Structure formats: C-alpha cells, structure tokens
Structure 1
Amino acid sequence: MTANYHRILVPMDGSKESEAALTRAIELTLDAGDEGILSILNVIDTRAFQNVASFDDTMVEAVSDETRKSLEKYKAQAIEAGVKNVDYLIEYGSPKSLIAKDVPNEVNADLIVIGATGLNAVERLVIGSVTEFVTRSAKVDVLVVRG
C-alpha cells in the first residue's frame, strides 16, 4: 500500500490529532525510502483577523512567527526520525480549500495525512469540519488519523 505514496502532505494546527497525523506521515514517508517527500503545512485563516477591530500587519507577523517556530520543530522531528526530504509551507486563507485543492497541486502530493476532527456532530453541521471537507473534495487519497 505505502509504496504508491511518495509525496505526502500533512496539515498541522497544533492539535493532538494533527501531531498524530504527523507521526503517521513520517512513517509513511520513511516507507517510501529516498523517494519520499514530506510537506508540512499550516494554514493561517486570515478570516479570523477580519473580526478584530485593531487588526494590523503586526498581528499577522506575530502569528506567522509563532507558526514558523512550530513548523521548524515539526520539521526537526521528521529529520530526527530519518526523513531526508522534508519542507514546510505557511499559507494564508481558507484552510478547507487550501488543504483539499490548492496545496496538494502545488507540492504534487499523492497523499494527504490529516488528523481527525475533535468537533461533535452539531459543531460540524454549524461550522463544518476541515477534515470532512478534505476527505470529500481532495483529488488525491486522504488518510484520516485518530489521535
């Protein structure tokens, strides 16, 4: 099964579910050998900033800096585990669309490894689940990892 996957995308949001997904993505990338490429993604949802009255570029820069530090830590974890080809991306916008469609095309992913949502059924109905959207909309295979 894993021999077919060489370019693996793992979206990270700092949750336990996404960290479990990273662990699984690292394993799958190692299974792919030297051809395995792991791309770690974080999407900063800029819509969240639109409701903040004192929104300015400094806030986005602060969030971006914290995100970069987290992604460097995740990248180091993958390298320490033996992954030779690992990179990370920070994108800005709608997580659903970026994770399901745009970024997989950009990095040529053939598998998305994503953490299961912690939302209950009512919350998914009202606000929607990124994981659910990705599993329904992605053009590549999606592996949902439970934390």
Structure 2
Amino acid sequence: MAKYQKIAVAIDFSEQSKKALERGVILAKDYDAALQLIHVVDTVSFGSIAAYDLNYAGKLKTQSLSELETLKLEAKAQGVNSVEVTVEEGSAKAILTQLPDVDLIICGATGYNAMEKMVIGSVAEQVARTAKCDVLIVRL
C-alpha cells in the first residue's frame, strides 16, 4: 500500500467536497501527510462575465481563500500537522491533474454543476483518468 506524503483535496464548497475533505483529514492524520486544500476559480466558464467586471475572478479568489483558511484551521484542530491552501484560476480539470508533488488527489464525485449530478462529475472523471497519482473519489 502506498505511503502518501502529500494529499490534495479539491474543494468547490459543495457537500461532496466537504465529504472529500473529511476523508482527506482522516488520511492525512493516518499517514502523517501534508494536506493541500485547493479550489479552482473556473475562469473558463465565465468569460463573458469578466468582460463586464474585470475584478470578478479576483473577488472570487479572495472569497475562496478566506473560506479555505477557515477549513485549514478546522483541519489543524482535528490533528493534521501540515495544511496549505491554494486558489488557482483556470480549468479545474487541467489544474487538478497537474498538481506537483501530490501522491493522492481526493475529490467529490460531483460538484455544483446540475448536469454533473446525474453521473460522476466531469471534473472527477477527468481527474481519475489523467492524474499522475492515485485518486480517491468520494460520494455522499
């Protein structure tokens, strides 16, 4: 069985990603691994909004970072020694599959996208197919 040293948890603030975080905290403690909480501001899907408000992505990034910091404190309070937070802009599928130095990626089966809730989420599916490390997909 693999010895995970760095575990990334994809956070979109949905119930599925909160469940993924719970699993990530457990595994990080079990393996004494570093935990990376990552949120991707999907700038690909709101190109037309950015034309009206050039600061939109920046506002989302700031808000997401604040929420991740809260989750970081909760993970540390539960006994995870090393927790870092990351907020990126772009395509979640591309960013999550290219995370450096990560041994395990944990994500929820579906996110906020209503269409994705019918089957396994397109982000989770892409991560499972193309990540260079182990992937754990968590269901509610």
Aligned ranges 1:34-113 → 2 under 5 Å = 36-52=33-49, 54-100=51-97, 102-103=98-99, 105=100, 108-113=101-106
The alignment partner of 2:13 has SS state of coil
**By how many angstroms is 1:64 displaced?**
1.3
The alignment partner of 2:46 has SS state of helix
The reply to whether residue 116 of structure 1 matches residue 109 of structure 2 is yes
The reply to whether residue 21 of structure 1 matches residue 28 of structure 2 is no
8 Å CA contact 2:109–2:139 kept in 1: the answer is: yes
Whole-Å Cα distance in 2 between the matches of residues 53 and 145 of structure 1? Answer: 32
Q: CA RMSD in A?
A: 1.7
TM-score by length of 2: 0.89
Q: 1:53 to 1:79 in 2, by over 3 A?
A: closer
Query: How many pairs are equivalent?
Result: 135
Query: For residue 126 of structure 2, what is the amino acid of its counterpart?
Result: F
Whole-Å Cα distance in 2 between the matches of residues 47 and 109 of structure 1? Answer: 24
Report the equivalent of 1:131.
124
Q: 1:37 to 1:47 in 2, by over 3 A?
A: same
TM-score by length of 1: 0.85
8 Å CA contact 1:49–1:55 kept in 2: the answer is: no
Q: 1:64 to 1:85 in 2, by over 3 A?
A: same
Higher helix proportion, which one?
1
Gaps of 5+ in 2: 111-115
Whole-Å Cα distance in 2 between the matches of residues 136 and 113 of structure 1? Answer: 13
**By how many angstroms is 1:32 displaced?**
1.2
Give % identity: 37
Q: 1:113 to 1:44 in 2, by over 3 A?
A: same
**By how many angstroms is 1:69 displaced?**
1.3
Q: 1:109 to 1:56 in 2, by over 3 A?
A: same
**By how many angstroms is 1:13 displaced?**
0.1
